[in-house]
Amino acid sequence: MITVYWSCNHYDSPSALRAEEPVQLQNHFFEKYPAEQADGYKRCPSVRNFFNNLYGLKSYYDYRIDFNLNEGKINSSDYTKEFLQRLLVRNMESALFSWPTDYIFFTDAKSLEMEVYPAFMESNDFVNKANLIPGVFDIGKWYRPLDCAFHLKERNCSLQFSIEDILMNLRFRTKEKIEFRYFTISKELSDFTRELMIVKDHKYASKTTSVLSYYYDLFAKKNFKKKILEYINKGL
């Protein structure tokens, strides 16, 4: 069994304490269809193998954003203007944006790669109107919050984030069972996370510094893993 520590940074994200543990997608998907409607695939070894360590990550917000990119307008009638400023405009021409989830996943195992990709088995407003940018990194060798980066499928639309909607899928690349353990992020760990996130800034891109191994090596040389696990253990 591999322990995956998880949290959501309430210092950066309003209502983060409402965030939920990832949903096991095999049960979530199978519950949608009675056995007599599934034509036996629920017992299929290849189907069950596909669902191994596959999880869904839910939104903990209700929030609507109105996009009119042809006129360069982005608005919301929900909450405050400051809340809308959480949306990062990465490229208006390609309708590329980032919405911070502030979810964190980390492990004391030597190595565990985590994949992030679209929730293709869901049907909700975000999944239907946005193309999530996938990614993969080793949560035993690097520590960072998850980003929800996406291209809008239509330049003019309203995008609804809803509590209980699954926004993205997570897969842990291991055959071992995953045990999730929640921890509360301290102010010190929150500040340290910001320091780690700006490590990639203020430098020119190169073959050396534009690969994950560069950050993994930096993380190991500075013994950051030990420091982060100390913070996590205090918050369990």
Which residues in the chain land under pLDDT 70? 39
Question: Model's pTM, two decimal places?
Answer: 0.93
Q: Give the Cα separation of 158 and 137 in Å (integer).
A: 31
Which pair of structure tokens corresponds to residue 200? 């990639």
Q: Which pLDDT does position 204 carry in this prediction?
A: 76
Q: Give the Cα separation of 236 and 231 in Å (integer).
A: 9
2-8 vs 178-182, strand pairing mode: parallel
Q: Which pLDDT does position 115 carry in this prediction?
A: 98
Angle at 205 between CA 150 and CA 13, to 5 degrees: 40
The answer to whether the beta carbons of residues 133 and 146 sit under 8 Å apart is no
Which pair of structure tokens corresponds to residue 158? 């309203």
Q: Which pLDDT does position 32 carry in this prediction?
A: 82
Q: Which pLDDT does position 23 carry in this prediction?
A: 96
Q: Which pLDDT does position 201 carry in this prediction?
A: 81
73-75 vs 135-138, strand pairing mode: unpaired
Q: Is the dihedral of CA 79, 85, 86, 88 positive or negative?
A: positive
Q: Which pLDDT does position 154 carry in this prediction?
A: 97
What are the tens digits of pLDDT across the range 91-104? 999 999 999 899 99
Beta bridge partners of 88: 98
What are the tens digits of pLDDT across the range 140-185? 999 999 999 999 999 999 999 999 899 999 999 999 999 999 999 9
Q: Give the Cα separation of 103 and 87 in Å (integer).
A: 16
Q: Which pLDDT does position 199 carry in this prediction?
A: 87
